């Protein structure tokens, strides 16, 4: 198969749900370079603390950011486990959330023992605090985590307004960090119950199988996918991921399936990557233990009524491609409301390579690429509805969802003039 070149343009994933076309038009590397050189210091770094933290992490003489030598990744007593909540949150609401999570709290207390922590009230995240400042306040320091002060595994329990995404990004350099946020106590309780069941022998019934679901919008047959030159009707971003991202990861798992003790993985060809088929893998009778999808995510402009419901929903093969003259219709993308109430997701891990698949920050991180000043993407930062639905499904939710905050793009796995490099995935 011919490896696609990205020519001189950078293609960001993401299709507008409000009008025809891409959320961001392709742009050149030269344009990005020239714009970046014009940035003021204020635009580059929101605070001196943030700049200082980045410099420390970039210092080659500094300590590593791995686990302590005596810690074992799957032994919480040696790594520790903790929750971070906002210091400014109403204590009664925090109590209600922790009560809803009580099954998970009890489980983790028993596993982590003296290295179980709950950072709340005055010990919680303080507005404007950097990750380094938070860790230092609790007796830790940059480098190898001191798990007696701040445990390695940390779960942020807050919306991204209360604890910003950038705090999570910084903390994740040094620690294993996840985040949950739901609208109701019942959703928190269901999430906790699902995790408990996943760690109870014999309760998870999903097949030990992985499915790789790669969309390539605009292709009509395999010749379009394999062509050395790409017709204007073919979407370059998803064609690239369908050739240079999904198949290499599939092959990697396929070569190791026996060692892993898993069934043979499934590769869904682009022509079969329709919304109806995705339903089979997200709660239907073919739901696997691991699902990897690569597609566009749907996006909406600031203030649009569909933004909180559907931003980050997965654009399937049903979208005809860049020549489509109107916004994608609802039957062309898969969102939270498409997860059936009778779905069975218990134990699944989903990896969603799609713009806004995990969430949307308040500020546009890629305004520079469009030669624009910094601008707000939404009234508030928010987690996407699809992963929240997957994690809190009433009949048993996914164990984890790994997805993009902000835009995704092909340069995360292939630079122009190079072979594919999907190692991080």
CA dihedral 283, 287, 293, 295 (to 10 degrees): -50
Q: Which one, of 237, 205, 421, 392, lies nearest residue 319 by Cα? A: 237
Q: 156 with 179: CB under 8 angstroms?
A: yes
Give the rounded distance of the alpha carbon of 114 from its chain centre: 31
pLDDT above 80 for 8 = no
Q: Please name the residues in contact with 353: beta carbons below 8 A apart, sequence gap of 6 or more.
A: 13, 241, 245, 292, 293, 294, 295, 403, 404, 408, 425
Could you list the beta-strand ranges (E) of 265-404.
266-268, 288-294, 296-299, 314-315, 333-334, 349-353, 359-360, 382-383, 400-403
- Structure tokens given for 214: 């790669």
Edge-to-edge order in the sheet of strand 116-119? 116-119, 81-84, 153-157, 176-180
Q: What distance in Å separates the CA atoms of residue 357 and residue 90, rounded to the nearest whole number?
A: 29
From residue 18, how far is each of 27, 277, 353 by CA, in Å?
21, 25, 21
Residue 375 buriedness (CB in 10 A; 0-12 / 13-18 / 19+): exposed
102 backbone dihedrals φ, ψ, rounded to 5°: -55, -35
Give per-residue pLDDT as tens, 374-413.
789 999 999 999 999 999 999 999 999 999 999 887 767 7
Average pLDDT over residues 289-304: 96
Using 50, 70 and 90 to split pLDDT, how confident is the model at 13? confident
Give the residue with greater pLDDT, 248 vs 50: 248
Q: Which one, of 81, 79, 161, 102, lies nearest residue 127 by Cα? A: 161
The H-or-E segment that residue 119 falls in is strand 116-119
178 backbone dihedrals φ, ψ, rounded to 5°: -130, 175
pLDDT attached to residue 424:
83
Residue 316's CB is within 10 A of a number of other CB atoms, namely: 24
pLDDT attached to residue 2:
45
153-174 as b/e: b if 16+ CB within 10 A: bbbbbbbbebbbbbbbebbeeb
pLDDT above 80 for 356 = yes
Radius of gyration of the chain (CA): 22
Percent of the chain past pLDDT 90, that is, above it, reads 70
Q: What is the mean pLDDT of the chain?
A: 88
Give per-residue pLDDT as tens, 32-44.
666 666 655 555 5
pLDDT above 90 for 287 = yes
Give the residue with greater pLDDT, 72 vs 224: 72
Could you list the beta-strand ranges (E) of 335-403.
349-353, 359-360, 382-383, 400-403
Give per-residue pLDDT as tens, 59-102.
545 455 678 888 999 999 999 999 999 999 999 999 999 999 99
Give per-residue pLDDT as tens, 143-169.
889 999 999 999 999 999 999 999 999
Give the rounded distance of the alpha carbon of 48 from its chain centre: 28
CA dihedral 393, 396, 402, 404 (to 10 degrees): -10
Give per-residue pLDDT as tens, 93-116.
999 999 999 999 999 999 999 999
Q: Which one, of 138, 135, 144, 126, lies nearest residue 170 by Cα? A: 135
Q: What distance in Å separates the CA atoms of residue 346 and residue 391, rounded to the nearest whole number?
A: 9
Average pLDDT over residues 194-200: 95
Percent of the chain past pLDDT 70, that is, above it, reads 85
pLDDT attached to residue 334:
98
Give per-residue pLDDT as tens, 205-220.
888 999 999 999 999 8
């Amino acid at each position: 198969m011919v490896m696609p070149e990205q020519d001189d343009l950078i293609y960001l994933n993401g299709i507008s749900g409000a009008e025809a076309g891409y959320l961001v038009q392709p742009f050149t590397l030269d344009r990005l370079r020239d714009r970046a050189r014009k940035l003021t210091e204020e635009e580059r770094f929101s605070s001196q603390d943030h700049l200082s933290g980045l410099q420390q992490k970039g210092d080659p003489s500094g300590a590593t950011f791995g686990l302590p030598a005596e810690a074992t990744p799957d032994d919480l007593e040696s790594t520790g486990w903790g929750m971070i909540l906002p210091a400014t949150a109403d204590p009664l609401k925090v109590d209600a959330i922790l009560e809803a999570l009580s099954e998970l709290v009890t489980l983790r207390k028993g596993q982590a023992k003296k290295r179980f922590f709950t950072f709340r009230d005055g010990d919680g995240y303080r507005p404007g605090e950097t990750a380094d400042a938070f860790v230092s306040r609790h007796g830790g320091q940059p480098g190898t985590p001191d798990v007696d002060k701040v445990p390695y595994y940390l779960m942020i329990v807050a919306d991204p307004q209360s604890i910003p995404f950038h705090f999570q990004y910084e903390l994740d350099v040094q620690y294993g960090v996840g985040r949950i946020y739901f609208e109701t106590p019942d959703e928190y309780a269901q999430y906790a119950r699902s995790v408990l069941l996943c760690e109870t022998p014999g309760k998870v019934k999903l097949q030990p199988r992985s499915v790789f679901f790669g969309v390539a919008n605009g292709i009509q047959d395999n010749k379009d996918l394999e062509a050395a030159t790409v017709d204007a009707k073919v979407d370059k971003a998803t064609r690239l991921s369908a050739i240079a991202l999904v198949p290499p990861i599939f092959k990697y798992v396929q070569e190791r399936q026996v060692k892993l003790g898993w069934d043979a993985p499934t590769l869904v060809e682009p022509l079969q990557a329709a919304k109806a088929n995705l339903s089979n893998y997200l709660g239907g009778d073919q739901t696997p233990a691991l699902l990897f999808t690569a597609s566009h995510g749907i996006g909406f402009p600031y203030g649009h009524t569909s933004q909180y419901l559907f931003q980050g929903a997965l654009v399937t093969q049903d979208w005809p491609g860049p020549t489509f003259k109107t916004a994608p219709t609802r039957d062309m993308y898969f969102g939270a409301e498409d997860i059936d109430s009778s779905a069975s997701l218990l134990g699944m891990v989903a990896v969603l390579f799609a713009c806004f698949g995990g969430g949307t920050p308040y500020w546009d991180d890629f305004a520079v690429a469009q030669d624009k000043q910094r601008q707000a993407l939404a009234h508030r930062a928010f987690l996407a509805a699809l992963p929240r639905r997957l994690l809190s499904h009433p009949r048993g939710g996914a164990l984890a969802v790994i997805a993009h905050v902000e835009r995704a793009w092909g340069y995360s796995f292939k630079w122009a003039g190079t072979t594919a490099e999907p190692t991080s995935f």
